[in-house]
Chains A and B, each alone.
Chain A
């Protein structure tokens, strides 16, 4: 087994085995590498192990076997030098009984890259204001507050677990705008969600996992090259179709892109195609 880091490689999972129960492993020999400068969409059904994977990456859970390296650190050691470079926003956020400025004064010193100006700018963009104690805000407001704080910390790794849960539609739109604006060349963002539509036009890399198995890890460009997303009146060759569903104009299909056609990746259809034809898709993207 070789562990290596290059200028672009930031996060390396090698032969990860993990399970809450020793006899039933959720992940077995999972290997994955993520590079800087990308927004990854981590997709999977409920209970597929998305949050578990994120928790392993941030050091909240420890691999039973294998190794994880984030920026050269081993997450499970939870060293301050590592923790100040990574921020995880869990599905449910914790805010103490503090005001916005009180929270910033107590928490920001731990993150050397924290930018106060950006923090207030993000809060404004997400429309989180007021002198109230944070714990009196609505769940959505609390979540937006934590999102603004996390983004302002300027950590190199941002892990977001179901970030759009609890956000109303305008807030989701603002969140999408904000997240695309904070991506830099030396940053990596992983967004885990089962609300696939929320990630449309936002991510440039897709990771799909199911039952602890990595079904797909590819860029949107790679997917568009190898798969074709289109609407057809009739399905000509069923063998080439990975997924189809009836639509107003016929059938929306995902098929092998044998003719080099350009098409727009539909994440929801992609997800269904991959989870329904795991082995075939794996071989296509090898």
Chain B
């Protein structure tokens, strides 16, 4: 018997994972998509199409992905379901792969399809609401368009999604009860620490700084007038590229590997 991967066994596991909690899985997906729709509809009227698209995309993919990831490995909330899950005769790799398949492949596909439909619908409604006889028709028409899935924002969000989702997976394996809340707290505390440390170090080096973003740039106030100008010092290009590569590829791979290792070493 292959103790690492067997197609038939993986199929059973996948079927079991979907069908035993199908109402919860479908309900959570519907809830996340519903919230995305509300955010889009509300934000487009308050802050406009561009920010609405970006916010909804970030929330739906990264935020929704976190919730889904936390749900997928949510067996450890109770002693009974945790034992049932860990003693089920499927390999650790198969259990890990099932989680990845649902949280990292299926959910994003569903979200992207939904987002495209929703985005196209709102954009079309906007275009139809324009008066072709209006002087600004062409510029207004061209100013609103569907969010490109290969644009700068989307690519950045894909990366955020991978990092956030893997952290959420990890958290649900480390914390048994209310893992999502605990992960969010730990993540916020970690971000606060990184930003503060980065700010202190930047302050030590540059003195009067206006802001500092970790792994990116430091803004410095120039001049001593009432309205000093700001200048930004970025990282050297080569180091910036290495950092980007690390966040885009190395970090997600490391985090997802850690999820596998944590699942393997999980005691319950």
Q: Name A's B-contacting residues (CB within 8 A).
A: 55, 58-62, 78-81, 83-84, 86-88, 90, 92-94, 96-98, 102, 106-107, 109-111
Contact = CB atoms under 8 A, between A and B. Distances in A.
A102 B23 CA distance: 14
A86 B86 CA distance: 12
16 contacts: A58-B87, A60-B268, A61-B267, A61-B268, A78-B87, A79-B3, A79-B91, A83-B88, A88-B87, A92-B78, A92-B80, A94-B84, A98-B19, A98-B20, A106-B20, A110-B12
B15 A81 contact: no
Nearest to A89: B83
B87 to A, nearest CB: 6
A192 to B, nearest CB: 14
A78 B93 CA distance: 11
Contacts of B264: 78
Interface in B140-190: none
Interface string B49-91: 0000000000000000000000000000011110110111111
A80 B91 contact: yes
A86 B89 CA distance: 9
B83 to A, nearest CB: 5
Contacts of B138: none
B87 A83 contact: yes
Interface in B1-53: 1, 3, 6, 9, 12, 15-16, 19-21, 23
Nearest to A155: B89
Given A79-B3, A110-B12, 7 more contacts: A78-B86, A80-B6, A80-B90, A88-B83, A92-B78, A97-B20, A97-B21
Contacts of A80: 1, 3, 6, 9, 89-91
Given A60-B86, A92-B79, A106 B268 contact: no
Contacts of A79: 3, 91
Contact of A62 (B12, B15, B19, B267): B267
Contact of B83 (A60, A84, A86): A60
B266 to A, nearest CB: 9
A29 to B, nearest CB: 20
Per CB-CB distance, the 6 closest pairs between chain A and chain B, nearest first, are A94-B80, A83-B89, A84-B89, A96-B20, A79-B3, A94-B81
B253 interface: no
B92 interface: yes
A61 B267 CA distance: 5
Contacts of B90: 80, 83, 110
Contacts of B86: 59-60, 78
Contact of B80 (A59, A90, A102, A109): A90
A90 B79 contact: yes
Contacts of B92: 78
Contact of B16 (A86, A88, A90, A106): A106
Interface in B85-117: 86-92
B89 A94 contact: no
B88 to A, nearest CB: 6
A83 to B, nearest CB: 4
Contacts of A111: 89
Nearest to A87: B87
Contacts of B20: 96-98, 106
A43 B79 CA distance: 22
B9 A94 contact: no
A80 B87 CA distance: 9
Contact of A106 (B19, B23, B81, B89): B19
Contacts of A110: 9, 12, 88-90
Given A80-B1, A111-B89, A90 B12 contact: no
A90 B78 CA distance: 12
A82 to B, nearest CB: 8
Nearest to B2: A80
A92 B23 CA distance: 23
A55 B84 CA distance: 12
A142 B231 CA distance: 67
A73 to B, nearest CB: 10
A78 B89 CA distance: 8
A139 to B, nearest CB: 11
B263 to A, nearest CB: 10
Contacts of A92: 78-80
